[in-house]
Homo-oligomer: A and B are copies of this chain.
Amino acid sequence: MKIGIVGGTGDIGEGIAMRLAPLYDIIVGSRDEVRAKESCTCSIAALKNRGTSCRSFTGATNQDAICCADIVILAVPFRNVITTLETLSCFEDKIVISPVNPMEKRDHFMFVPPEDGSAALMIRRLLPKEARICSAFNTIAANKWKALNEELSYSVPVCGDDEEAKRMVMGIVNSVSKLQGFDAGPLAASSMVEALTPLLLNIARYNKMRDVGIQFM
């Protein structure tokens, strides 16, 4: 299975790529192809240092990362989603994973969704209707993705309207470290998942913690 990461050289994208590379063929996408290839070289070296071998792990433009992939992860900050998607095509029939959280930092962090109700619903509106959108990985902090020595013992709620796509995404979630995927319902319910991230950032901030995650129990 080939996974393309749009924004794959960003904080979250780079960590996701390293966690998935031992298990899947990864195409790291970036606006800047050279930067994508450099990021891959560094990540492969870091994995090799740990004695971890990876499958195919290549850098490309965001567009090529989408075209070559079965599954696309949109590792893009909410503020850049619209401008990024405007320049990209070839999403038809792809499974598209949104880990995007629309939020603002005021005195505290607030969930500030677009008019669609959530980032995932906005992305569904912006992409061709044949794209199979799921939200997942919303609450895993960039630092945790990159801390390869640490297990990720978190619950991951997954939303989506295409049941087959959602099952595949939950399979990917469950294949990474100790992450455990949970079906959180249709994409219409994704706002409550996206609202978790600013809540966790507030919990970290007001309780002097770092990179707080959740477990359902």
Interface residues of A, Cβ cutoff 8 Å to B: 107-111, 153-154, 157, 182-186, 188-189, 191-193, 195-196, 198-200, 202-203, 205-207, 209, 212-217
Q: How far is the CA of A200 from the CA of B182 in the complex (A)?
A: 10
Contact A183 B157 (CB under 8 A): no
Other than the given A182-B203, A184-B203, A200-B216, 4 more pairs (CB < 8 A) read: A108-B188, A110-B188, A185-B206, A196-B196
Q: Given contacts A183-B206, A183-B207, A206-B184, are A217 and B215 in contact (CB under 8 A)?
A: yes
Contact B203 A216 (CB under 8 A): yes
Contact partners of A108 in chain B: CB under 8 A: 185-186, 188-189
Contact partners of A110 in chain B: CB under 8 A: 188-189, 192
Contact B189 A202 (CB under 8 A): yes
Contact partners of A192 in chain B: CB under 8 A: 110-111, 195-196, 198-199, 202
Contact partners of A199 in chain B: CB under 8 A: 157, 184, 189, 192-193, 196
